[in-house]
Amino acid sequence: MPYSGPFHYGDRVQLTDAKRRHYTVILEEGGEFHSHKGIIRHDEIVGLDEGSVVRSTLGSDFLLFRHLMVDHVLSMPRGAAVIYPKDSAQILVEGDIFMGARVLEAGAGSGALSMTLLRAVGPQGHVFSYEVRDDHLEYAVDNVKEYFGEQPEWWTPRLGDLADVTVEELGGPVDRVILDMLEPWEHLEKVRDILIPGGVFMTYVATVPQLMKVMEGIRELKCFTEPKAWESLVREWKVEGLATRPEHRMNAHTAFLIWTRRLADGVTPPRPQRRARK
C-alpha cells in the first residue's frame, strides 16, 4: 500500500464531508461511491494528490486523504477490543520499541498493536504475536495483511498459549515483551525466561484488581525493577474564537499500563525506600 504520491487503483481512501464525517473506499476501475450527497466516480480520484477535493454529482465537496494507521485501526473489523492509539503510542515510547528489536506480544486480539510494532521494528526486527483464540487470530492476520498489503516477513503470528513458549522456539531471548491478556500475572516467570537482561516488559490491563495482581506478582518474583503504572487520558479542545473550550467527550480510561525491566540473573533488586511519615 503506497503511503504517499497520487492516488492509484487499489488505494484505501478516506473521504471527509463538510460535517467531518468520514467515508472509506477502495479505489476500483469503474467503481463508484454512493451517498445521500451524490455519486463520486473512483476514476475521478485516481491521479489526484492527497489533500485534493472532489465534487459529487449533487455538488457536495469531499476532502481526500489516504488512511493513516490510526484511521485503519479505528475502522477495521475486530473480534476483540483493540489497544487504542493513545495507549499504543505510550507502549512504543515507554517500551522503547526500536528498529531491529525482537518483540513478543501475547494477546494479539484484532492486530492493532501488531501493526504498530511491525512498523516500529521494521524488516530488521521481528514480532511474535501469540493468541489463544483462533477467531481472534484470524482477525489479526486479516487486518495486518490488509494494512501492509501482504503478511510481513518479519511477523510470526501463532495460535497458542504463552505458557508453552520456549526460548528455542523464538530462536533466542527477545528484547521486549508486551502482554494484553486476562490474567498476565500467571505468566511472569515465562516473561523472565524469554526476556533478555535489561529488556522492557509492559502489560496492558483494564481493571484495578488486575493492576494490583500484576504489580504484586512482579515485586514478589524479585527479578524485575520496581514496576510503575499509569493511565493516559486524552481530551480534545474545540477552538472557535471566544467559544474555545474542552470537548464534552473525551477518551478517558481504556486501560492501565504497567512497565518494568528485567534484572540480570542472580541480582536482587534494592528495596524501595519510602519517606517516613512525620
105 within some domain: yes
Last residue in a domain, options 66, 87, 104: 66
Per-residue model confidence (pLDDT) at position 186: 96
Q: Is 243 found in the same domain as 143? A: yes
Q: 72-91: per-residue pLDDT in tens?
A: 888 887 877 788 889 999 99
Q: 26-36: per-residue pLDDT in tens?
A: 999 999 999 99
Distances in Å between the Cα of 97 and the Cα atoms of 3, 119, 177, 199, 224 are: 22, 10, 10, 10, 18
Per-residue model confidence (pLDDT) at position 76: 83
53 within some domain: yes
Q: 168-200: per-residue pLDDT in tens?
A: 999 999 999 999 999 999 999 999 999 999 999
The pLDDT of residue 105 is above 90? yes
Q: Is 125 found in the same domain as 31? A: no
230 within some domain: yes
Last residue in a domain, options 66, 87, 109: 66
Q: Is 182 found in the same domain as 105? A: yes
Q: 221-267: per-residue pLDDT in tens?
A: 999 999 999 999 999 999 999 989 999 888 888 999 999 999 999 88
271 within some domain: no
Per-residue model confidence (pLDDT) at position 278: 62
CATH number of domain containing 129? 3.40.50.150
Q: Is 108 found in the same domain as 18? A: no
Q: Is 249 found in the same domain as 163? A: yes
Q: Is 10 found in the same domain as 90? A: no
Which range marks the domain in which residue 170 is found?
69-260
Please state at what angle helix 134-148 crosses helix 112-121, rounded to 10 degrees: 50
83 and 180 Cβ atoms separated by less than 8 Å? yes
Per-residue model confidence (pLDDT) at position 23: 92
Q: Enter the C-alpha cell of residue 6.
A: 497520487
Q: How confident is the model at residue 153 (pLDDT cuts 50, 70, 90)?
A: very high
Q: How many domains does the chain have?
A: 2
Percentage of the chain modeled with pLDDT above 70: 98
Average pLDDT in the chain: 92
Q: Is 256 found in the same domain as 124? A: yes
42 within some domain: yes
Per-residue model confidence (pLDDT) at position 61: 95
Residue 161: alpha-carbon gap to chain centroid = 20
Q: Is 50 found in the same domain as 156? A: no
Q: 202-230: per-residue pLDDT in tens?
A: 999 999 999 999 999 999 999 999 999 99
Q: How confident is the model at residue 276 (pLDDT cuts 50, 70, 90)?
A: low
